[in-house]
């Protein structure tokens, strides 16, 4: 199982019942769930080995964007809490585990507070992103 596959499974386990997309949102705007997350996980960077030797490992860095939406401002009161709940669940879950692909400890390295997505006028949308890394 690749590191990306392991991460996707871990994020899904951390927030059961919430749709988790793997880098690309495959649903149309009208059919998006009210809550979802998007995992952006590149294949990792090779760690240099000795001169003339192939890479000795990989360093991974990825981000997760959590989204909560409501049809209008009157129904949007819980959105901030919903986004922060998902952020905390995923952060707690990942940092308590090791990356399956290489056994590296996962570190939470950056968190953004929830912000409103002003480019979606049809409904109120809040999102927040977190960044993580696993070093060999």
Name the more confident of 105 and 44: 105
* CA separation for the pair 8, 118 (Å, rounded): 28
pLDDT for 106: 92
Is residue 60 within a helix (H) or strand (E), and if so which, with residue range? strand 57-70
pLDDT for 18: 97
**pLDDT above 80: residue 45:** no
pLDDT digit string (tens) for 123-132? 899 999 999 9
CATH code for the domain of 92: 3.30.2000
pTM (two decimals): 0.86
Q: How do 57-70 and 124-134 pair as beta strands? A: antiparallel
Q: In terms of residue numbers, what domain contains 96?
A: 3-134
Domain total of the chain: 1
* CA separation for the pair 49, 12 (Å, rounded): 34
pLDDT for 102: 66
């Amino acid at each position: 199982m690749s590191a990306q596959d392991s991460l996707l499974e871990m994020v899904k386990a951390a927030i059961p019942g919430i749709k988790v997309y793997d880098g690309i949102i495959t649903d149309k705007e009208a059919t998006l769930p009210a809550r979802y997350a998007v995992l952006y996980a590149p294949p990792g960077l090779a760690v240099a080995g000795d001169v003339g030797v192939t890479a000795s490992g990989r360093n991974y860095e990825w981000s997760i964007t959590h989204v909560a939406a409501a049809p209008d401002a009157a129904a949007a009161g819980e959105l901030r809490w919903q986004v922060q709940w998902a952020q905390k669940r995923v952060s707690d879950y990942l940092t308590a585990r090791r990356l399956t692909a290489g056994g590296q400890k996962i570190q939470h390295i950056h968190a953004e507070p929830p912000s409103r997505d002003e480019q979606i006028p049809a409904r109120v949308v809040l999102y927040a992103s977190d960044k993580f890394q696993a070093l060999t």
